[in-house]
Amino acid sequence: MLPFPDRRTAGRLLAEKLKGFSSQRAVVLGLPRGGVAVGHEVAALLDVPLDVIVTRKIGYPPSPELGVGAIAEGGLGPVFDDDLLYRLSLTPADLARVVAAEEEELARRVRVYRAGRPPPVVAGRCVIVVDDGLATGVTARAALRSLRAAGADYLVLAVPVAPLAAAETMRDEADEVVIIATPRRFSSVGEWYLSFAQLTDADVIALLTS
């Protein structure tokens, strides 16, 4: 099963595990950018609507790829990985500039991806949150908390691959967690895909409108 050939294949495999959620009350929300590509396949095979929940990772300044927190649209503010902050001797105040920059980028992406459309209505619905994988899980956590605050009735987190520790922490945030594989040795999401090209805003828009 691993590595996945690409996000499209991973999405189809994930959809097989989500067949029970095909209903008029369900909606798939992909995390940009890769989660929208996986979510596109899930939504198509379940025959439910697809939209986006815009999030931004808050990176560790010396190594921005390391996510120490995240923000999601909805205005709840940043969510931090407290254990990681402790290990790095950081406080939320130390990351104020990073958070401000990511809030600007999040607002820009909301404008670009939605083009004036309102956010999806999630109150009272089953919301399937999809990403192409979890690393620390903090971005998914921010998305799930935002959707919970918006009144989602039942939250499902669905990803093709994640480290077991991150997968377990998500069970405190979602009503159900669906993951295809939890390999023991995990360095990055991309290592579990043969093709893991970076997607653009144009790619996301094309997926959302196709």
Whether the per-residue pLDDT at 159 is higher than 90: the answer is: yes
Q: Which one, of 146, 128, 155, lies nearest residue 74 by Cα?
A: 146
User: Kind of pairing, strands 55-60 and 63-72?
Assistant: antiparallel
Asked whether the beta carbons of 16 and 182 are under 8 A apart, the reply is no
Q: Hey, which residues does 157 pair with through a beta bridge?
A: 129, 177
> What is the rounded CA–CA span in Å between residue 164 and residue 159?
12
Confidence of residue 1 (pLDDT cuts 50, 70, 90): confident
Mean model confidence pLDDT for the chain:
95
Note the pLDDT of residue 197.
Answer: 95
**Pairing state between β 126-130 and 154-161:** parallel
Structure tokens at 23: 């209903």
Q: Could you give the residue ranges of the DSSP H alpha helices within 115-163? A: 138-149
Strands 26-30 and 50-52: parallel
Measured from the Cβ of residue 49, the count of other Cβ atoms closer than 10 Å reads: 13
The structure's pTM equals: 0.95
Q: Is the dihedral of CA 10, 14, 19, 25 positive or negative?
A: negative
Neighbours of 171 (CB within 10 A): 11
Instruction: Specify the pairing of strand 63-72 against strand 79-80.
Output: antiparallel
Residue-range domains of the chain with CATH: 7-55+115-209 (3.40.50.2020)
Q: What percent of the chain has pLDDT over 90?
A: 91
Q: Is pLDDT at 23 greater than 90 in this prediction?
A: no
Q: Which of 134, 127, 165, 150 is nearest to 70 (CA)?
A: 134
pLDDT higher than threshold 90 for residue 79: yes
80-110, pLDDT tens digit by residue?
999 999 999 999 999 999 999 999 999 999 9
The pLDDT-based confidence of 126 (bands split at 50, 70, 90) is very high
